Amino acid sequence: MGAGSLVTPNNRVPTHTLAMGRPARVVRPLTDGEKQHLLESARGYVEVAARFLEGDCAPCEPVRF
């Protein structure tokens, strides 16, 4: 799903595809590299959640632009 996309009711998006827009439309299949990146990113979030639940997460500084 592209950022800010709107999936309307009854809209079906096939697995392993990129959809974006308002309303969301399938744009193209995901590359193997993109799928791998999504898996690695999800693993990172799971690791952070586990550390937080164990009390092993120090507060971080806000990102300044």
Q: One-letter amino acid identity for 10? A: N
Largest Cα separation within the chain, whole Å, is 42
Please identify which residue in the block is written with the tokens 């439309």: 25
Q: Is residue 61 part of a domain?
A: no
In a domain, 64, yes or no: no
Domain range for 39: 30-54
- Burial of 43-55, coded b for 16+ CB within 10 Å and e otherwise, reads eeeeeeeeeeeee
d(CA 26, CA 14): 8
The answer to whether the beta carbons of residues 31 and 16 sit under 8 Å apart is no
Give the pLDDT of residue 48.
Answer: 85
The total domain count for the chain is: 1
Full-prediction pTM beyond 0.85?
no
Examine residue 42 and state whether it is found in any structural domain, yes or no: yes
pLDDT, position 14: 96
Question: What's the pLDDT at 53?
Answer: 87
Query: What's the confidence (pLDDT) of residue 56?
Result: 79
Spell out the per-residue pLDDT of the chain, length 65, in tens.
999 999 999 999 999 999 999 999 999 999 999 999 999 999 988 988 888 888 877 667 776 87
- The verdict on residue 7 lying in a domain is no
